[in-house]
Amino acid sequence: MAARQRHYPARDMRWMELRGRTFYVVMAVPRPLWARLGGKRRLVKSLGTRDHGIAVARRFAVLAEFQRAIEGARTVASTDELTSTALSWRQALQESERDGFAAFSGETPDGRPAGAAQRREFAMWTLAEATDAIASSRGSEAAEAFENIALGVATPLLLHVDAWLKEGGTKGPLNPRTAAQYRADVTAIAEWAKQSAGVVTVEAFTPTLAGRYVTQELIGKGVHWGTANRKITSASSYWRWMRKRAGVKEHPWQGQSVAKGGTRETAPKRPFTDAEAAALLAGNADPELADAMRVAALSGMRLEELYRLTVADCAGGWFRLRRAKTRAGLRRVPIHSELTALVARRCEGKAGDAFLFHEAGPERPGRERSAALSKRFGRYRQDCGVHDREEGKRHSRVDFHSFRRWFVTRARNAGIDRAVVAAVVGHEVGNLTDDVYSGGPAEALLRACIEAVRLPA
């Protein structure tokens, strides 16, 4: 007699997926809202557990959070439509002003062609009709904002963001990650202002409203003081630019910074321990990730610096870094003896302008080449059991940058001078003599620093 076949019920994985051994909640974003949610096509959040039952119990709270974000994006999108229409009116009126409102043709009551004054009056009447329609459907505040933007007496909050980011800061053009962070910070503030206070223009954004944002959204929610001040700095930079370039008079972010320790403390990022570094290097990483970890550990370079290296940048036993976040980041780094074969293998058969880490494909504007590997490393790190996250915190204290911290720690513990280590990793030394007048450490000292660091057994 044939054995009875057992049928087990399938696990409930609705709106969930398993990454490594951790459950995540996933929700698709409607296509029209992709741009409003930072280009995201899906919202993803870890449930912080490997237990399926616990994950199922937690998922609906996260789904509710996602739904609120999507509904908020819908509200913002509808407000942006109104702003876009008002800007179209502004452009049309400005162009019409130059050509005598010729687009608004008509006749006077006695049958003569309308002059410039009559045509302008008709244009203003048409705008008033549009404003009244908005007041009926959206309220008087929305109508007033629409009319002020159309007449050029008010500025939409995000109107100048692209121009601001394109110009960059005092140190020149912003790198893609910094620009994206600034954009996200300012956009989040603008969306908060629309949803909480109905404010959509620069002129309506007062110091009182800025203080309310800091109190409610940063201090009130326990955001770390460093993160809070970064967000305030982003907004302050944008308003300073508008004062200089767009004639905006008020700067609502002056004096809004959060005191150090003014919000809850969090443990800082740290280097890998030798045991953690050994576990990662000995794990079952794919070839690209395995090579990237070794180069980072034996050079102290940032991840994006690795991914900008070309074959020509790796000639003659040196890495040449030609693009960096700061002036100190433009440097030459000796290729460690343990990396010679790896670099030769990756350069073999390639043209001089080919990337050393070719797997990431060509450069794309506004995106870092290393972004995909950075995310993959996060999953790989957890699979290797290398994780250090405080209770209630989203991020781990260790990440790919911890290889850079590990390199600096090992070099300093080997007795290498602080200025030499700084020159290798591309940091300013912090004193006038070395930063301005010195030609930098000798090549022999740079190479001694590199060779002092060895991979853990």
Q: Give pLDDT tens digits for 191-207.
A: 898 888 878 788 889 99
How large is the average pLDDT for residues 89-93? 73
Kindly state the tokens that stand for 445.
Answer: 């000292």
How large is the average pLDDT for residues 182-193? 90
How large is the average pLDDT for residues 124-149? 79
Q: What percent of the chain has pLDDT over 70?
A: 84
CA 308, CA 289: separation in Å to the nearest integer? 15
pTM (2 decimals)?
0.57
- For residues 151-187, b (16+ Cβ closer than 10 Å) or e, as one string? eeebbbbbbbbeebbeeeeeeeebbbeebbebbebbb
How large is the average pLDDT for residues 183-198? 88
CA atoms within 13 A on the CB side of 308: 18
Q: Are 297 and 290 in contact (CB under 8 A)?
A: no
C-alpha distance from residue 377 to each of 39, 206, 283, 399 (Å): 22, 43, 12, 8
| pLDDT value at residue 417 | 94
| pLDDT value at residue 168 | 79
Q: Per-residue pLDDT for 8 more than 50?
A: no
Q: Which of 14-23, 75-84, 173-182, 233-242 has the highest mean pLDDT?
A: 233-242
User: Which pLDDT tens digit goes with each residue over 46-60?
Assistant: 998 998 888 888 888
* 172 DSSP β-pair partners: 169
Q: What percent of the chain has pLDDT over 90?
A: 41
| pLDDT value at residue 428 | 75
Q: Per-residue pLDDT for 350 more than 90?
A: yes
Kindly state the tokens that stand for 267.
Answer: 């443990």
- Per residue, the 3-state secondary structure of 371-404, as one string, reads HHHHHHHHHHHHHCCCCCCCCCCCCCCCCCCHHH
Q: Per-residue pLDDT for 37 more than 60?
A: yes
What fold, for 274-451?
Answer: hpI Integrase; Chain A (1.10.443)
Higher pLDDT residue, 377 or 158? 377
CA 171, CA 88: separation in Å to the nearest integer? 35
CA 32, CA 215: separation in Å to the nearest integer? 32
| pLDDT value at residue 1 | 45
Nearest to 90 by CA among 167, 162, 159, 165: 159
| pLDDT value at residue 444 | 95
Nearest to 380 by CA among 400, 394, 395: 400
User: Which pLDDT tens digit goes with each residue over 277-307?
Assistant: 999 999 999 999 999 999 999 999 999 999 9
Q: Per-residue pLDDT for 429 more than 50?
A: yes
133 — pLDDT class (breaks 50, 70, 90): confident
CA 337, CA 451: separation in Å to the nearest integer? 7
| pLDDT value at residue 176 | 79
AA identity, residue 130: A
CA 394, CA 381: separation in Å to the nearest integer? 15
Higher pLDDT residue, 390 or 399? 399
Higher pLDDT residue, 119 or 323? 323
| pLDDT value at residue 432 | 38
| pLDDT value at residue 439 | 67
How large is the average pLDDT for residues 315-321? 96
C-alpha distance from residue 279 to each of 50, 284, 337, 455 (Å): 21, 10, 22, 11
- The rounded mean pLDDT for the chain is 83
| pLDDT value at residue 235 | 93
Kindly state the tokens that stand for 289.
Answer: 């990730």
Residue with token string 């009319």: 147
Strands lying side by side in the sheet with 22-28: 16-19, 22-28, 42-46
| pLDDT value at residue 226 | 85
| pLDDT value at residue 366 | 67
Q: Are 272 and 280 in contact (CB under 8 A)?
A: yes
Domain ranges of the chain: 12-107+115-154, 161-245, 274-451
| pLDDT value at residue 396 | 86
C-alpha distance from residue 108 to each of 100, 111, 190 (Å): 16, 5, 45
